[in-house]
């Protein structure tokens, strides 16, 4: 195992340990897995920052509200007030309702889900600050939960219901965040390509003291015509130095 693979394996071990301890690791555990950072403040801070991004605290839990912006805090305030209006059930009542839900009782399943909704908020807080607003996380998770009610019958016991709901929420939120990050990655790639086209067009037009055609720019810069035309389309033909193709002019 090379050095990078070993490091990733130790990170994975540390993350799994934290999950078993309600998203907390203790310093002695951290130094046991990464002994080399005990006397190296820089490397310690790198690991600590990574853990914080994963919502993992060192010695103490991280306050999830720390990752919420003001709009999200206001949204949660009103959302939690709405949840307060839902009927509350005693633990023994809920146990009976969960058993009925597992047996296929649709009304019981809806009641059990409504009682669980407060937990969706707590889970959403764990995923806050990762590119998706908390109201979107909650909204998508709630939709996924409603769609999952028909699968409660696959559970064996009432005790599995909360874990089932939690997994639905976490999987949904992780998928949304991953999709958003993919979108950002594609956007970033496109911006870089547009900037590359714009710079090449500026340099060539400056050298020739005139605007350049798409064919000229492609030939001299090595950038494909397809990419140049795409850059023009994205910027609504606002790249200085490029002579707008006639077919593009007719569309304006």
**b/e burial code for range 202-211 (CB count within 10 A of at least 16 → b):** eebbeeeeee
Alpha carbon distance 18, 171 (integer Å): 18
* pLDDT at position 252 over 60: no
Give the C-alpha distances (Å, rounded to integers) separating 96 from 88, 159, 208. Answer: 14, 11, 81
This prediction's pTM: 0.60
Nearest to 81 by CA among 121, 110, 45, 33: 121
Q: In a 10 Å sphere around its CB, with 0-12 CB exposed, 13-18 middle and 19+ buried, how is residue 77 labelled? A: exposed
Higher pLDDT, 248 or 134: 134
pLDDT above 90 (res 27): yes
Phi-psi region for residue 55, left (φ > 0), alpha (ψ -120 to 50) or beta? left
Residue with tokens 């009432």: 158
- CA distances, 172 to each of 81, 153, 179, 190 (Å): 24, 20, 11, 27
Q: What's the rounded mean pLDDT across residues 214-241?
A: 88
Q: Is the Cβ–Cβ distance between 98 and 112 less than 8 Å?
A: yes
- pLDDT tens column, 61-103: 888 788 888 999 999 999 999 999 989 999 999 999 999 999 9
């Amino acid at each position: 195992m090379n050095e990078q693979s070993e490091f990733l394996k130790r990170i994975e071990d540390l993350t799994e340990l934290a999950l078993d301890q309600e998203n907390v690791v203790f310093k002695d555990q951290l130094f046991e897995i990464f002994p080399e950072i005990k006397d190296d403040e820089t490397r310690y801070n790198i690991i600590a920052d990574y853990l914080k991004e994963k919502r993992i605290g060192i010695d103490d839990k991280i306050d999830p509200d720390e990752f919420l912006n003001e709009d999200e805090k206001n949204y949660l305030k009103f959302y939690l007030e709405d949840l307060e209006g839902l009927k509350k059930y005693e633990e023994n009542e809920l146990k009976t309702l969960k058993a009925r839900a597992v047996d296929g009782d649709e009304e019981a399943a809806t009641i059990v889900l409504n009682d669980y909704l407060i937990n969706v908020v707590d889970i959403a807080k764990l995923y806050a600050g990762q590119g998706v607003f908390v109201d979107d996380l909650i909204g998508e998770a709630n939709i996924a939960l409603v769609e999952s009610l028909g699968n409660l019958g696959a559970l064996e016991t009432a005790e599995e219901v909360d874990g089932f709901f939690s997994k639905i929420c976490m999987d949904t939120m992780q998928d949304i965040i991953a999709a958003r990050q993919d979108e950002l990655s594609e956007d970033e790639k496109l911006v870089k390509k547009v900037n590359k086209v714009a710079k090449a067009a500026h340099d060539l037009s400056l050298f020739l003291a005139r605007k350049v055609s798409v064919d000229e720019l492609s030939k001299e810069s090595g950038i494909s015509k397809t990419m140049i035309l795409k850059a023009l389309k994205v910027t609504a033909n606002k790249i200085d130095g490029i002579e707008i193709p006639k077919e593009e002019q007719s569309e304006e």
